[in-house]
Structure 1
């Protein structure tokens, strides 16, 4: 029987299972050596000096915003085409989450838009561009536009990807990079995330915020009278229980060893789709330039469809694809359209984000998708769109 092809799927093998079993048989299920090993594997891959693993990608964004100093009355800016966590993390800090439209070529934050926004809002403290679909943001140009503001790249789609500057995503133009390891991402820990940085002060703040704000190092304790006593620790800031457990970390480390192969397969699928969909009536490719394909993490494969010209609304297209055992999804409903955030953006316009949202559709792309299944996806899209 033909399996249903969701837009994303985790890839788990016996190596992953054994890594988890080994931790289950060990002395530490949490706060043990597996977390440190996972952090090191991310640092080794990205070239980042420091990595802090956390419970999920949203937690990574939250503590990154707090480490950046966001607080009540501050302003942070992200982009509309993203999962709502990019804006929520700013809001969690008591700051105001604002938006800059996307570049229609990359679906990442518009550099010109950011420049214009900051000219009108010099009080903005933090900039959060999103490496949408696995393609990193505009690096040097965004850094120049942001000036000395803290940049946190939401790289939830982009572990293993390469930036425009040639650096692995995790080090380079941004002050911090946040990752997600949800099952549909390039690698998974079940749920999980991480923050990478080259700044030792940010690293220390991230470590405190991850674990209740508790400090244990004798040389960093404020109560020097009790420093060095074997039981003594102290809460120095208001932190959170955002720890990743060793079971998840062991899975992540096992997955990291295969990340290059995972991305290579995703790229093969994307290039096959590009070739098959090129020139199709009422379909436009996304992030399909060769240089973009070469450096993307390929978390998502999306196309743009002119549903009016096809003569079918998107929901009908999705239904008919599902009847052909092909899943699809929409990434994303723009932040300014979400009922929670929408009132702050009344009267504001984000034309590129709205245009993309009106046309986008995400198709299956994951490492275990076979050549025959990729061909099945193409045939289903052609059949539904009548091309």
Structure 2
């Protein structure tokens, strides 16, 4: 198929390319100066104290869980409408995972549902140790309410902001960790900025940052203050003091990310322009457009619409396939995690989170990326019109 329009794509400039070339010609392809420079750039942008760059957001979620000491006897709660990594990270730590249904407007974790489930869990003596909200499509969860519940019930918070760098909550940048212990970003090519593959964990806690830095590099330290005592005649220029992982980000990736950070606000502005135009063009189609909460300034990583199937008189799948047949590569974000076969083996079944399942049965993510032209937007809407009317 030629002339297809993807649901998302990266924007790589000549400046980005030159920055990467400069690193390729330097002495450091990895473990050099580019990674700390990129970390500082993101931390400063978010008004946060510490940033730990890794090779994926999944890795960031994993070491975030480990830094918060999640283990076999612990419970982690997240939302079902997310990529599987938001839940898998807890399973990597041998913890138990459970899900909170979504809000019908924002599609983020429902705070009333969370509050109700926490009350029940407290009575049963099975409160979560960590809750992982997901800022779906780039719109922040109700973090003030979540933080208040965390203070009341004693759980920690990891913000899965994989979609949301450049977004804001109550006028402040997502990632400032005012309402959480750790925030995680993704730099996959379809995200807001890219490092090819990559992720980052942000925190204001120096102890958590140090632990995550250790975990991303095999649990190895070269800091004499952290090393265990050895005979003075022996040479020990590093020691493994934890069981860690090879989750490092390369300088090549970090250089690309650092260059992309220079255009982050431009990317977000363009995404908002595209979203506004979609809002206008979709007015007469039988779809529900994404609703934005007044407290949130979304990064608009995704633009999901919900099909009014009773008016369209076609199935969700029929509309999806008819749009894709026209070269518009719409996507699904997401199939509820607990419906995946791996999670069904744990005992989860249809009906567990009704609102999430209603959303999944109607939602389609239509193309959204900053280099998208008005002509391409017109093609998207026309394809939707043919499929849905």
> Is the TM value for this pair above 0.5?
yes
Aligned position for 2:253: 248
Which residue does 1:311 correspond to in 2?
Answer: 313
Q: Give the TM-score normalised by structure 2.
A: 0.94
Whether 2:370 is the aligned partner of 1:367: answer yes
TM-aligned CA deviation for residue 376 of structure 1: 1.7
Partner Cα distance (2:22, 2:265) in 1: 24
Aligned to 2:210: 204
Which residues of 2 match residues 22-171 of structure 1 at below 5 A?
A: 22-122=22-122, 123-147=127-151, 148-163=154-169, 165-171=170-176
State the distance in 2 between where 1:77 and 1:226 align.
48
Structure 1: which 5+ runs fail to align?
none
- Cα–Cα, structure 1 residues 95 and 329, in superposed 2: closer, same or farther, change >3 Å? same
Deviation at 1:231, TM superposition (A): 4.7
- 8 Å contact kept, 1:55–1:193: yes
What residue number does 1:19 align with?
Answer: 19
Q: Within 2, Cα distance between the matches of 1:13 and 1:73? A: 48
Give me the whole-angstrom Cα distance separating, in 2, the residues matched to 1:27 and 1:318.
Answer: 49
Does residue 291 of structure 2 align to residue 287 of structure 1? yes
Deviations 1:312-349 (A, max 9, x none): 22332223222332110010010110111123324762
Q: How many residues align?
A: 381
Q: Which runs of 5+ in 2 are unaligned?
A: none
- CA deviations 1:189-208 (Å, max 9, x no partner) are 11000000001111111111
- The whole-number CA distance in structure 2 between the counterparts of 1:314 and 1:259 is 34
In the alignment, is the contact (CA less than 8 A) between 1:178 and 1:193 conserved in 2? yes
Q: Does the aligned pair in 2 maintain the 1:54–1:242 contact within 8 Å? A: yes
Kept in 1, the 8 Å contact 2:57–2:187? The answer is: yes
* 2:370 equivalent to 1:355: no
Match in the other structure for 2:336? 334
Output one character per residue of 1:120-154: Cα deviation in whole Å (capped at 9) or x when no partner: 22431000000000001101101111223110000
- Determine if contact 2:106/2:292 at 8 Å carries over to the other structure: no
Contact 1:115 1:146 in 2 (8 A): no
> CA-to-partner distance for each residue in 1:171-229, whole Å, 9 max, x for gaps?
120110001100000001110000000011111111111111111111222326559x8
> In 2, distance between residues paired with 1:321 and 1:74?
43
In 1: Cα distance, 2:223 partner to 2:249 partner: 20
Deviation of 1:43 (Å): 0.8
| Cα pair distance change 1:59/1:226, threshold 3 Å | farther
In structure 2, C-alpha distance between the alignment counterparts of 1:224 and 1:204, rounded to whole Å: 23
Q: Secondary structure at the match of 1:121?
A: helix
SS of the aligned residue for 1:195 comes to strand
Q: Which of 5-14 and 216-225 deviates more?
A: 216-225
- Tell me, yes or no, if the aligned pair for 1:263 and 1:297 is still in contact at 8 Å: yes
SS in 1 for 2:329: coil
1:186 is aligned, of 188, 192, 197, to 192
Q: CA separation in 2, counterparts of 1:271 and 1:69?
A: 43
What is the CA-CA distance between 1:81 and the residue it aligns to?
A: 0.3
Q: Contact conserved, 2:157 with 2:180, CA < 8 A, in 1? A: yes
Spell out, residue by residue over 1:298-322, the C-alpha distance to the aligned partner (whole angstroms, 9 max, x if none).
Answer: 1000100023431222332223222
- Which residue of structure 2 aligns with residue 214 of structure 1? 220
Runs (4+) off by over 4 Å: 224-227
Match of 1:259 among 252, 256, 264: 264
Q: Is the 8 A contact 2:188 2:198 kept in 1?
A: yes
Instruction: Give the whole-Å Cα distance in 2 for the aligned partners of 1:14 and 1:225.
Output: 53
Structure 1 residues 280 and 346, CA gap change in structure 2 (3 angstroms): closer
Q: Distance in 2 between matches of 1:226 and 1:239?
A: 26
CA distance in 2 between partners of 1:226 and 1:347 (Å): 62
